[in-house]
Amino acid sequence: MNLTRVLNNALPEIPARTLAERYTRVDPGMTFREHLEDGEPIFRIYVPCVEGMFKFPPQNWHLAQLFDGKRSYEEIAEIYSQQTGVHYDEEQIRDFSADLERVQFWYKTPQEKNILLMQQTAEERRKILQVRSRWEDLSLVSFPAFNPDPFLTWFYGKTKFVYTAWFTLLTVLAFGATFGIFAARGSQMWRDTKEFYNFTNKTWGDILLLYAVSMVVVAIHELGHAYACKHYGARVRSMGFALVYLMPAFYTDTTEGVVMASRSQRFVIALAGIWAELVLCAIATPIWWGTPPDTALHDIAYYMMMQTGIMSLILNWNPLIKLDGYHMLCEGLGINDLKENSTAYISAWVKRHIWRLPVEVPYVPKRRRFGYAVYAFLSGAYSYLVLFVVARFAGNVVRNFSSEWGFIPEIGVALLIFRSRIRLLVNFMKFFYLDKRDRILAWFTPLHLMWVAALGGAILVLPLWHEAVTGRYLLEPVKTAIVRAHVPGTVMQVFVAEGQCVTIGTPLATLRNPPLESEYEQASARFSMASERAKAASLQYRDFGLAQKVSEQLATEAQQFSQRNSGLRLVSPISGTVLSSRLQERVGTYVPEGQELLEVADLSSLRARIYVSEFELHKVWHNARAKLQVQGLMRVWDAQTLSIAARPTEMDPRLQAQTELKGMNPPHYYLVDLIVKNPDAVLKPGMSGVARLYGRRRSLAGLLWESVNDFFGRKFW
């Protein structure tokens, strides 16, 4: 052991004495107000020296107010006993003072703070002075805060009109105009918003611009909270800047507003940040609407709209995460710390009643228990979803520049975010094991061990496990029809669009070919004249045979032209769905004979083509069942094996993993066709995913033996 550490442990530092014995006292700059929580009176006290809020029941707060730094504990005990009519001795008052001292409630002068700091050990002093390396935990990187109260006092004095009725009405009208512009271009705004936050096709310039706009937006958001707090007479002692998972985030200390404001005023303080963003969006929207595209002002206004528009409302108004919507919900319901209380109640209830652990379940009134359960489940699921999206976002940013290594930051950020949850899970598993260990060991009697061994043997030898083969696939229609131009012509009309369902004989498009139409009319006219001549010859009994022969020749010619002319009207040869896109763009274009115009496919059943390696082909059977999982969809579809190719084929490069290794002998692949029913037309051609083909049932022991036998059989034969 290090000699210095030995001496420090053997000869600890003697705590520095205070300059003089002083009695504790409340902070002279504190603010407080009485509130009602769950129907009970409670005092909220804001203590500036620790920048924190404390809650006291009335009797405790009346006692704390007696500590003025001059009265002794004996005097306070005597005064408080006279006020309450209950006897309190000096020891009880000292205990009360010591309890508040541990939570750092009492006021300390700067000199006393320095003495307290000197009393810390070397390791504790390092923790206090350095806290932690600001860059140690990327989930929260904080920077020094500043006191904005003087600026807010000056700024509020110049802009008091913001909280007047006429300005509020003007703001609401601006919101209405913004909503009208959004509604007129709703699909474009929603598509661009998703693309804006997707980050799969962004440059470093886009990322820097997003950071810059984000910093402006969040700064104005927090300024809105601080401004509302100042409007209701409360001080704002600190504002600062931080990086939450490397995303810019300002923060504002509105604790005094929570103490001094009424319930409705606290609701307005929570709403003020979103309101400030909406005002910013109402300013940026007409600028974007009125400026020409591809200009700097137009693009910046559009970025500002993306930041303060749809996604901002979705995130900030959502009460399932601790943002403005959550605080507004708590103030509306009159329930403080809803997320913590509901989560603690449900967690303790599950541990107590499901896992049978010796934990205390917090008391919750019956009328709130169901609501707590619902909110805890929804908020927990949404919080984990947000954390997953953050991890996915980091992966998308890197994947935009290197698709092969995007998973590394994605996994790293996920571990960084979920490490506290993983630690809690490990602690819970340890607690569960320690609580149940004795019961589990006591349960393993010889009889029980025999039953466990019999059950394990049955699991090994019974054919409970399916042989399965997995592989990637691309969906394609079983039945398709290519509609081509039977005769050359110009496309005049197209009657269908991509994705439209049609039946046999449904008109698809019409062509125009004036020479063909003219020849058809002439042939029809010649046939009519020849028919009349043949009819007249039969009446006059003169040259009837020649006239009849000419009429038959012209009838054949007219029929041929009629068939070619009917080719100008294209109809669907099958019932199905139109797959071709941009059909209206073909109107007015010339198409030669035989050119493809559009494709119609029957999507009621689709074919999935699986590439199975030669090593696993023996597991695949005709008419065997299979299951398909489509990428991006949660549902699983049932399928059936349709055919197995007799010869190997090369795998589709779109499904084959790319490898740069040289000299590898890739396996041969056999094509297996699956048929999947698609009555609701959810599946589309071109979708990909993973399919699992099920073979015969095997026992676990048989599967293990087969693996070992195959391994040695390939080397020793």
Q: Is residue 320 part of a domain?
A: yes
Above 90 in pLDDT, residue 119?
Answer: no
pLDDT at res. 389 = 76
Q: Is residue 624 part of a domain?
A: yes
pLDDT at res. 131 = 41
The amino acid present at 246, given as its one-letter code, is: L
pLDDT at res. 372 = 92
The amino acid present at 544, given as its one-letter code, is: F
Decide which of 356 and 214 is more confident.
Answer: 356
Residue 578 CB contacts under 8 Å (≥ 6 apart), including other chains: 496, 497, 498, 499, 500, 501, 502, 508, 598, 599, 600
Q: Same domain for 581 and 631?
A: no
Pairing relationship of beta strands 465-484 and 596-613 according to DSSP bridges: antiparallel
Nearest to 215 by CA among 249, 264, 266: 249
The amino acid present at 370, given as its one-letter code, is: F
Q: Same domain for 329 and 344?
A: no
Q: Same domain for 496 and 541?
A: yes
pLDDT at res. 622 = 82
Q: Classify the C-alpha dihedral 338-339-342-348 as positive or negative.
A: negative
Nearest to 362 by CA among 346, 378, 373: 346
- Residues 427 and 408: their CA atoms lie apart, in Å, by 27
Average pLDDT over residues 266-293: 89
Cα distances (angstroms) measured from residue 554 to each of 9, 214, 527: 121, 79, 5
pLDDT at res. 245 = 56
Q: Same domain for 56 and 20?
A: yes
Above 80 in pLDDT, residue 427?
Answer: yes
- Residues 597 and 583: their CA atoms lie apart, in Å, by 8
For residues 262 and 254, is the Cβ–Cβ distance under 8 A?
Answer: no
Q: Is residue 96 part of a domain?
A: yes
Nearest to 251 by CA among 131, 136, 143: 143
Q: Same domain for 237 and 347?
A: no
Decide which of 201 and 133 is more confident.
Answer: 201
- Residues 198 and 406: their CA atoms lie apart, in Å, by 14
Nearest to 624 by CA among 463, 467, 465: 467
Burial 154-166 (b: 16+ CB within 10 A, else e): eebeeeeebeeee
- Residues 173 and 558: their CA atoms lie apart, in Å, by 71
For residue 208, give both structure tokens. 């820097």
- Three-state SS string across 378-416, please? HHHHHHHHHHHHHHHHHHHHHHCCCCCCCHHHHHHHHHH
Q: Is residue 69 part of a domain?
A: yes
The enclosing H or E element of 240 equals strand 239-244
Domain with 371, as residue range(s), is: 337-443
For residue 438, give both structure tokens. 């004795």
pLDDT at res. 538 = 63
Q: Same domain for 356 and 321?
A: no
Domain end among 559, 591, 623: 591
Domain end among 566, 591, 616: 591
- Token look-up 């319930």 returns 263
Q: Could you give the angle at the alpha carbon of 211 between the alpha carbons of 247 and 183, nearest 5°?
A: 100
Tell me if residue 705 falls in helix, strand or coil. Answer: helix
Average pLDDT over residues 693-716: 79
For the domain that residue 672 is a member of, what is the CATH number?
Answer: 2.40.30.170
Confidence at 534, pLDDT banded by 50, 70, 90? low
Decide which of 274 and 419 is more confident.
Answer: 274
Nearest to 315 by CA among 214, 242, 451: 214
* Overall residue count recorded for the chain in this entry: 717
Question: How many CB atoms neighbour CB 576 within 10 A?
Answer: 22
Q: Is residue 135 part of a domain?
A: no
Exposed, middle or buried by CB within 10 Å (0-12, 13-18, 19+), for 684? middle
pLDDT at res. 129 = 39
Beta bridge partners of 53: 46
pLDDT digit string, tens, across residues 428-475: 889 888 888 888 888 888 888 899 899 988 888 888 888 888 888 888
Pairing relationship of beta strands 669-677 and 625-630 according to DSSP bridges: unpaired
Q: Is residue 464 part of a domain?
A: no
Q: Is residue 24 part of a domain?
A: yes
For residue 546, give both structure tokens. 């020649």
Pairing relationship of beta strands 489-494 and 31-37 according to DSSP bridges: unpaired
- Token look-up 């000056």 returns 154
- What does the DSSP 8-state code read for residue 215? H
pLDDT at res. 670 = 86
The amino acid present at 530, given as its one-letter code, is: A
Average pLDDT over residues 395-402: 63
At 188, give phi and psi (nearest 5°): -65, -45
pLDDT at res. 346 = 92
- Residues 204 and 47: their CA atoms lie apart, in Å, by 45
pLDDT digit string, tens, across residues 636-662: 889 988 888 888 877 766 665 544 444
Decide which of 514 and 194 is more confident.
Answer: 514
pLDDT at res. 310 = 67
pLDDT digit string, tens, across residues 4-34: 444 344 445 444 444 445 688 898 888 899 8
pLDDT at res. 122 = 44
Decide which of 346 and 402 is more confident.
Answer: 346
Q: Same domain for 541 and 435?
A: no
Q: Same domain for 408 and 328?
A: no
- Residues 552 and 326: their CA atoms lie apart, in Å, by 88
Average pLDDT over residues 374-380: 91
pLDDT at res. 189 = 67
Cα distances (angstroms) measured from residue 22 to each of 25, 30, 63, 79, 477: 9, 20, 18, 19, 88
Angle at which helix 407-443 crosses helix 366-399, to 10 degrees, equals: 140
Q: Is residue 526 part of a domain?
A: yes
- Three-state SS string across 416-435, please? HHHHHHHHHHHHHHHHHHHH
Question: In 513-613, which ranges are E strands?
Answer: 569-571, 576-578, 590-591, 596-613
- Token look-up 């935009």 returns 400
Domain end among 130, 152, 179: 130
Decide which of 218 and 16 is more confident.
Answer: 218
Above 80 in pLDDT, residue 319?
Answer: yes
Q: Same domain for 158 and 238?
A: yes
Cα distances (angstroms) measured from residue 226 to each of 44, 220, 223, 257, 264: 19, 10, 5, 9, 16
Q: Where are the alpha helices (DSSP H) in 234-323?
A: 255-260, 263-290, 296-308, 310-316
The enclosing H or E element of 36 equals strand 31-37
- Residues 47 and 50: their CA atoms lie apart, in Å, by 6
Nearest to 684 by CA among 624, 608, 585: 608
Angle at which helix 263-290 crosses helix 204-231, to 10 degrees, equals: 140
Nearest to 690 by CA among 632, 643, 650: 632
- Three-state SS string across 123-140, please? HHHHHHHHCCCCCCCCCC
Angle at which helix 165-184 crosses helix 263-290, to 10 degrees, equals: 50
Q: Same domain for 609 and 625?
A: yes
pLDDT at res. 342 = 92
Question: In 129-246, which ranges are E strands?
Answer: 141-142, 239-244
Q: Same domain for 584 and 608?
A: no
Q: How many domains does the chain have?
A: 5
Q: Same domain for 428 and 506?
A: no
Average pLDDT over residues 382-402: 72
The amino acid present at 177, given as its one-letter code, is: A
For residue 357, give both structure tokens. 């652990």
pLDDT at res. 659 = 42
pLDDT digit string, tens, across residues 158-215: 998 999 999 999 999 999 988 888 777 766 666 666 666 655 556 667 677 777 887 8
SS3 content of the chain, % helix, strand, coil (to 5): 50, 20, 30
Confidence at 226, pLDDT banded by 50, 70, 90? very high
How high does pLDDT run on average in the chain?
A: 79
